[in-house]
Every structure is written in C-alpha cells, then in structure tokens.
Structure 1
Amino acid sequence: MQDRLSQTELDALAALDTPTVCNALERLVPERRGYGYTTRPFVCADPSAKPMVGYAVTATVRAQHPPREDAATLRERRLAWYRLVDASPRPSIVVIQDLDQPAGYGAFWGEVHTAVHRGLGALGAITDGSIRDLDQCAPGFQMLAGCVAPSHAWVRVEAMDLTVTVHGMTVHPGDLIHADRHGAVVIPHAVARQVTEAAAAVARREAVILEATRQPGFNAEALARAMGAADEIH
C-alpha cells in the first residue's frame, strides 16, 4: 500500500458521493470505466448516512451448512479475524464475500458484530450476504448488503485477508474503498489524492449544461452549445 491518506484527505473524499467519485475516476484512469465498482443493487442499512471512505479488510463466509471443524478451531479463526481487523489500517471497511449459493442464507452482520467491528475501527461493511437486527445495529456503522435475513444459521469466517468479489467489485486487502447508498468503488492508491480535483472539474462541466437547462427557450441547439462550452473546461 502507498502512503495512507491523511484524515483531511479522507474527509474530502467523504464529502463526495460515490457516483461523483466514479465520474472522477473516469477522467483519471479511463481504462477502469468498466470495472472496479459494484454492479448490482444493495440493501443499504442507512441511506441517509454520509459516504464512508476506508481501507478494505477482507474475508469470505459460509452459513448454509454446519461446519466440519470443531468449536475450538472455529473460535480461534474468529479471534484471528478480530485481530486482523484490529491491526488493519484505519479507518477500515470490512468487505465480505458470501460463498453460499444463494448468498445470504445466514447473516454475519447484526447487533453484536456491528458493535464489535465499530469498536475495532471499522466504518461499515460491504457484503453480498445478509444483515439482520436492523434496529439494534451499532449507530453509525453503515452496511451495504445483498439482502436482509432473520437468522445467522451457521455463519462463520472461512478465510481472511484475501481477494474477494462482491457484487461485481473485486477488492484486495488494503484497497481504498468509497461507498454510499449507491454502491461502492475502489479508488486506486496512485490517483487517490487527485480525485477531489478531478471531481471538481467534472462538476464545473456539468454546471454549464445544468445552467443551460434552466434558461428560457432551452432546446436541443442550446444544449449543443452548452455541451461545446463544457468541453472547453478542463
């Protein structure tokens, strides 16, 4: 991982919504226009929450069938997971791929786990699995999930600190993630400090077109002129 961003830089990114970040990345790394972000809808635990920006801590889980390992092995693996989250760069975002088919048979996230992970420095979670205890989850802990389910079944961590794919977005441990109610995107470390400036440039170009739409007599020709003027803004 390259040098981590300062809190001021993270806050500047969190002031942008995720679609705006995607727009900025189209300018900075146009080859990533077709990947690097989620492509399926989520259940968002708190649509009113501001965007979260943090470093990915990754794992896979299963829940549909009883585990073959003994209780001691499962407990030690869970403790290893908590230690990994605790030791990871902060702020973190937990990204969990659910290996069950269909995903979400049992919920990893609920009242206890949201409180535990928030205490260990995580801002929230992104998963293609399920969440529950929506009224009891830790305040301020955002969740983007594939679905809502009532039971945790036999949910357990299968593996950790590995590459995962959640709703079309491939995530490596330590990736910088931006997420809000729209979904999530990986911000390449190499351009992370350029995103806010690129987003401002996109906004300036869009403002020309938006202003044109508000003028009396707006029509296709007026739109063409506004698009031409917007193209001159860099």
Structure 2
Amino acid sequence: MEPLTREQIDDLRNFDTPTICNAIEQFKTRQNTEGFMRPGMMRRSQFAKPLVGYAATARVSGTYKASALANEALFNYYEHVRSMPDPSISVVQDIDIDQSYSFWGEVQASTHQSLGCVGAIVDGGVRDIPAAEKIGFDFFSTKVNVSHGYVHLVDYGKPAQILGLTINPGDLLHADMHGVTIIPPEIAPLVADKCRQMLNAESEFLAHIRAAIASGEKPTIEQLREWRKRLIEQRNA
C-alpha cells in the first residue's frame, strides 16, 4: 500500500497512542491483545506530540570489537533508513544481555535525522538525551547508558522483537509516553477520523459524568447504564 502523506502523518500526531489503540480496535483487524509493546519502553524526550513514522530496523551489540565487515554494514544500514518512506523511525534491538552500551547519542541522532528519521525506539540504552531533544530527535528506550563500549551493527532490515512486539521494516508506528503500537496499513488512512469519532463519543459521556460530579449528586446505576450504552453505540457507529 502507498505510504501516508505528510498531512496524514501529522493528523495522526494529534491523538495520543491510547486513542489510536482504541480506534484500531474498532476495525477488528487484529486481536485486542496484539499489536502493541508490553510495559517497559520509556520516552526520554519531552515533546508534546506523539512520534509517528515508518520503521527501519537493526540489531546491535557492544560487548566485542566490530569487524571491518560490521563497520561497512553500518553504511548499508544507513541506506536502509534512507530508503524508508518519510518520516522514518529507527527501531534498534540490543542483543547484549546487560544492554550496557549505547548505539545512540548526538552523532547518530543527527545522522539519522539527515536521512529523514525523526526518532528512535530502542530495546537498550540511549545517551546525549538533551542534545538529541535540542535538535528535535525523539528517543524512546528501555535503558539510559553512559558509554558506547564497542557497539556495532549486527544486522538490519529484519524483524525486531521488542517487549513482546514484532516490528517489521516499513511498519507504521505510533508512540508516546504510554507505549508503542503498530497501525495496520489497510486501515491507516482511516484511523484519524475514527479517533475523532471516538473522542466525540467520550466527550458526551464525560459531560454527563462531570455534570454529576459538579452537582454533588451520584448518578444512578440506570443512568450510568444508559450513558455507557450511548457511548458504545457512538463508538461503533
């Protein structure tokens, strides 16, 4: 399928990732227990809007010195990033047991940004967090590290396994402080409008609830039943 336009990507950034997950559920393209990372991925940047883009994948290690072949593979990986639809997100899986060495810092963030990449989602550590944030590059990681050790590329362009989620090259990702999800390509152009529908349904329900709170009168169970019925009907419309 064709990648989304920049306008469509920007539209998806208007919604937090839980709302995106709620919208995806309405299309019934996958089980509600699938398609998102389990807990443990932390956003290190302080940006207001979510990170949205197409995955470029790699695996790294830092426990031993890289061979000349591994050093050259880095440039092939850069070509992999460069070939992705804009904007891209680098998804990096650190295969070391202790994940103590960081592939990511100011130099890699800047290099990736020049190739159309807007952020990194890392099973492992990052560093130079303020410097990356200053240039507008978004870091997500499971750890924060101080050194790069002997970090080098192991492979790239293959599925990455991170916190229970398999991410393939070209997957459309949506991520914020709550976590990371994959937007299925067949529904990607429709998700933003579904988000608006979901939020409109919730706003009507919450208006009833907040009015009850303001009045100091507890709603009856029948009222709650009716309001929730209306919420579900509007979500499913």
> Shorter-chain-normalised TM-score: which range?
over 0.9
- For 1:165, give the aligned amino acid: Q
- Contact 1:28-1:198 within 8 A present in 2 as well: no
1:128 to 123, 131, 138: 123
Aligned pair 1:119/2:114, yes or no?
yes
- Corresponding residue number in structure 2 for 1:218: 218
- Corresponding residue number in structure 2 for 1:88: 84
TM-score, normalized by length of structure 1? 0.92
- For 1:76, give the aligned amino acid: E
Aligned length: 229
- Output one character per residue of 1:92-123: Cα deviation in whole Å (capped at 9) or x when no partner: 01111111113x21011111111110111101
Aligned pair 1:151/2:147, yes or no?
yes
Aligned pair 1:46/2:42, yes or no?
no
The whole-number CA distance in structure 1 between the counterparts of 2:204 and 2:128 is 45
Identity %: 33
2:174 to 173, 178, 185: 178
- Contact 1:212-1:223 within 8 A present in 2 as well: no
- Contact 2:38-2:164 within 8 A present in 1 as well: yes
Q: Identify the range of structure 1 (115-124 vs 196-205) with the bigger mean alpha-carbon deviation.
A: 196-205
- For 1:223, give the aligned amino acid: L
Any idea what SS the aligned residue of 1:232 has? helix
1:13: Cα distance to partner?
Answer: 0.7
- Corresponding residue number in structure 1 for 2:100: 105
The whole-number CA distance in structure 2 between the counterparts of 1:218 and 1:28 is 35
Return 5+ residue gaps in structure 1 as ranges: none
- For 1:12, give the aligned amino acid: D
The whole-number CA distance in structure 2 between the counterparts of 1:88 and 1:48 is 23
The whole-number CA distance in structure 2 between the counterparts of 1:140 and 1:28 is 33
The whole-number CA distance in structure 1 between the counterparts of 2:100 and 2:79 is 26
Relative distance call for 1:126 and 1:31 in structure 2 (3 A) is: same
Q: Which runs of 4+ in 1 moved over 3 A?
A: none
- Output one character per residue of 1:104-157: Cα deviation in whole Å (capped at 9) or x when no partner: 210111111111101111010001110011222252100110110111111111
- Contact 2:129-2:139 within 8 A present in 1 as well: no
Return 5+ residue gaps in structure 2 as ranges: none
- Contact 1:162-1:173 within 8 A present in 2 as well: yes
1:30: Cα distance to partner?
Answer: 5.5
- Corresponding residue number in structure 2 for 1:56: 55
